[in-house]
Structures are given as structure tokens and as C-alpha cells.
Structure 1
Amino acid sequence: MIFGHIAHKNPCVLPSAITQALEFLRTTDFRAVGPGVIEIKGRDIYAQILDLTTCPSQDNSPEVHRRYIDIQFLAWGEEIIGVAADNGENIIAVPYQEERDILFYQNMANESFLTMSPGSYAIFFPQDVHRPACNKNKETEIRKVVVKVALTQL
């Protein structure tokens, strides 16, 4: 997992696909576009723009992906995201769905929380269990952009 803010340049060299995704986030005015999907590089790199309402963490299922990494970016609002390393012992709530590239767990061991503010991003790899869109202080309207980067691009 990598955590940062879009206003800060990353001091290390990242794979070009991640750099391209971060540049998309840095240069797009998300107030000028509506919810939906934007292809950045076909289905190899694409963004899902989502308007959501946060909820208590226990109401959100932890998730992992197998074919894509998630770059979760908060355009506005506030949220916390639960995160933990996938220890292989989490109980599956919903088996892997190939077409959606997602598997849901009932819960996750050793969960920590990231506090997201506008401009924050978190990059989740297949070994990173994450629980997005959780309340920080209260239920909040947020705009998230989730850039999906195919592992084949890394």
C-alpha cells in the first residue's frame, strides 16, 4: 500500500502506469465531470467516479482485487479507509467475482485506518485488504475516484 496527497510529487520512481494514473488525478477537474467511467488507457487503466455516502465501518465489507490495483482518491468530503495485509485467514463473505475483480471478506484481522481528506490517495495492491467509504466522524457525502490499473501494466 502507498498513501499520499496528490499535491506532493512522489520522491521515488513508480511504474509508469501508476504515474499516468496519478497525473490523471492531478490534472482532472472532478467538479466538471459526473459519476461514471473514464478510460485512461482502455481497460488497462480506467477511472470510476463515484458519489457515495460514508457509513459505519462495520456496515462495509473488506475487499481485495486480483487483476487490478486500486488507486482510491478522495475528491471531496471525508472518510476513513480500513486496511490490513491479507493474512490468508480472513473468512470469505462473497467469493471472488471474476467479472468485477472483487472478493469480499466478513472482516479483517489487524485493521488500521487511513484518514482521507480531499486530495488524499491510497494505492492498494492485491495483498492489501481495504474497507473504503467509512465514516470519519459522521455519515458524509463524498466523491471518490477509483483508478483501476491492471497488474499487467506494472
Structure 2
Amino acid sequence: MLYDIEDKVATITLNRPEKVNALSWALRQELYDALKTAERDQGVGCIIIKGAGRAFSAGYDLTPADPSPNRPVEGYVSPDLDKLTGQYACDLVKGWWVIWELNKPVIAQVHGWCLAGASELASMCDILFVADDAMLGYPPVRALSTPDTMYFPW
């Protein structure tokens, strides 16, 4: 993750170009922390999120070696909730709400691939600037389900 402030604009760069900026648990936590830092900084007027290298992001990092935090789901938990899948989806949604709750405008600067989880990230931003070469999509919908974010139905 790269973090820079210039002319009252905080720029947060997803910096895993070798993994096409795949959103690992660690990278997402760094992103949330950087967003909160920018929100608290009185010298920042808006926030830009972009990707290093050839793409904004290929989506969630599904590498088996990516250690997921073993956090309990907060609030009411249905006894029918699958403990693995349900926890994963709840954690994703809770994380994206960090963006929603910021007072400062958040801009997604999208180029190259913006897929699956990356499209969820971009959709939670207030404004998207999309390059002509960008390819946005949600491939999991073909075989699984709708996106994890509750924001999409709106």
C-alpha cells in the first residue's frame, strides 16, 4: 500500500502489481487503515484509490496461502449461517462499509482490470473515473451468486 498527500488529496495506491493488486486480507486491512487516516487528517479534502501497475485490481486474493483472520461475526448470527462462507461474506461487507461511512469524498481511479471484489470496492466509492482501457465485471455471478455488498441492490 502506498499513501501520499498532495494538494489536499490523499492518494491510496493498491501496490501488489505482481498479483494484479489482488485484495488479500492484509491489503484490505491496510486500505481500511489508510482510509481512516485520511478521514482524520484535517489537511485532506478528498481521497483517491488507485492500483499500481497494469490494473486497478483483479479482485479478491483467493490464494489458499492467504491467511484469513478467524474473527467471529459480530451481531446476530443465524444458526444456519455457514461458519466459513458466512463469516467471509460478513467480513467483506463490514470492511466496504468503512468507505461508505467516510465524510470525505472517495474517488476510484480505475484502469485495466477491475473485477469481482475490486468492482465491489469501486462501487462503494463516491465517484469513479474509468480509463478507456478498463474492464469492469463480476465474473463470480456466472457460477455463484450476486456480489457480497448489500449496496448493489440500491
TM over 0.5: no
Between 1 and 2, higher relative CO (CA 8 Å, sep ≥ 6) is seen in: 1
**TM-score, length of structure 1 as denominator length:** 0.25
Normalising to structure 2: TM-score of the pair? 0.25
Name the larger-Rg structure: 2
> Which structure features the higher share of strand residues?
1
